[in-house]
């Protein structure tokens, strides 16, 4: 009778062999690595996936920037009050020569609390998510799928684009967040070349003239 150890090793070898037969572009091939030893790992191989260099995003107004950041982080429209409040923060920051720093703070604190943001470094034990984002993607979730979603939200809120043509980037940063925590992901995106390019293209088109169209009985408007 074969030992339990031999059976486990043979099963693992068979699984790895079958995994090699799958095209890397298939959805199953991209997530199956979460089941490889060590059990529960959230790491995945990224070779063969599509990638993009840092982009030069098109210019956009302060208000458009705020709207897209809320949509990326929370999957909802920003309220009129939220748009106007951050518009004036950006105007003041631009006047004081600190537009990039305010843009970093604004997007980051949609996902992590201001107190968490103010703590330097990337130590995960000092990371706390905002209640609204934590309801969307709890910080306690460290499996592959929620971490991929988290990185996808960083793309949509900081870079204000999807990961559809940058699957390698999403895979790479998900692996990084898996190893070093979510705070590291936020730190990386806020100092990225592409985010800097986006902020450099922001312009003031005037204070948002808006009226909230949601039913007042609703907490917020989903897209």
Q: What pLDDT sits at residue 38?
A: 39
97 and 21 in one domain? no
91 and 150 in one domain? yes
- Per-residue pLDDT averaged across 146-170, rounded? 97
109 and 160 in one domain? yes
The pLDDT-based confidence of 211 (bands split at 50, 70, 90) is: confident
9 and 114 in one domain? no
The pLDDT-based confidence of 212 (bands split at 50, 70, 90) is: low
> Hey, CA dihedral for 213, 159, 195, 121, is it positive or negative?
positive
The pLDDT-based confidence of 222 (bands split at 50, 70, 90) is: very low
19: tokens are 């995994």
- Per-residue pLDDT averaged across 180-204, rounded? 98
Q: What pLDDT sits at residue 220?
A: 52
User: Nearest-5° angle of CA 217, CA 214, CA 69?
Assistant: 120
- Per-residue pLDDT averaged across 41-59, rounded? 92
Instruction: Examine residue 183 and state whether it is found in any structural domain, yes or no.
Output: yes
SS3 78: coil
Q: Is the pLDDT of residue 10 over 50?
A: no
20 and 73 in one domain? no
Instruction: Examine residue 52 and state whether it is found in any structural domain, yes or no.
Output: no
Instruction: Examine residue 114 and state whether it is found in any structural domain, yes or no.
Output: yes
Q: How many domains does the chain have?
A: 2
Residue 193, class by beta-carbon neighbours within 10 Å (0-12 exposed, 13-18 middle, 19+ buried)? exposed
Which CATH number goes with the domain that contains 188?
1.10.3130
Q: What pLDDT sits at residue 210?
A: 81
Q: What pLDDT sits at residue 175?
A: 96
144: tokens are 């592959």
Residue-wise pLDDT for 15-42, tens only, equals 333 333 333 333 333 444 544 443 347 8
Q: Indicate the pTM of the whole model.
A: 0.79
23 and 85 in one domain? no
68 and 148 in one domain? yes
Instruction: Examine residue 107 and state whether it is found in any structural domain, yes or no.
Output: yes
Give the domain extent around 188: 60-203
Q: What pLDDT sits at residue 133?
A: 99
- Per-residue pLDDT averaged across 133-155, rounded? 96
Range from 17-21, 34-38, 158-162, 217-221 carrying the lowest mean pLDDT = 17-21
- Per-residue pLDDT averaged across 197-217, rounded? 82
């Amino acid at each position: 009778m074969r030992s339990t150890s031999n059976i486990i090793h043979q099963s693992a070898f068979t699984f790895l062999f079958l995994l090699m037969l799958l095209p890397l572009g298939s959805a199953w091939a991209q997530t199956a690595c979460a089941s490889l030893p060590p059990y529960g790992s959230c790491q995945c191989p990224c070779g063969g996936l599509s990638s993009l260099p840092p982009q030069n995003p098109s210019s956009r107004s302060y208000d458009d920037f705020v709207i897209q950041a809320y949509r990326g982080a929370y999957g909802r429209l920003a309220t009129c009050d939220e748009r106007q409040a951050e518009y004036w923060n950006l105007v003041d920051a631009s006047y004081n020569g600190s537009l990039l720093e305010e843009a970093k703070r604004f997007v980051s604190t949609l996902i992590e609390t201001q107190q968490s943001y103010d703590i330097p470094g990337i130590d995960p034990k000092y990371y706390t998510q905002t209640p609204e984002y934590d309801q969307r993607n709890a910080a306690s979730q460290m499996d592959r799928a929620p971490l991929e979603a988290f990185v996808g939200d960083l793309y949509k809120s900081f870079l204000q684009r999807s990961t559809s043509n940058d699957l390698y980037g999403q895979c790479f940063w998900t692996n990084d967040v898996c190893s070093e925590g979510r705070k590291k992901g936020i730190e990386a995106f806020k100092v990225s070349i592409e985010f800097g390019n986006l902020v450099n293209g922001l312009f003031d088109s005037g204070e948002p003239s808006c009226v909230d169209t949601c039913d007042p009985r609703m907490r917020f408007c989903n897209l």
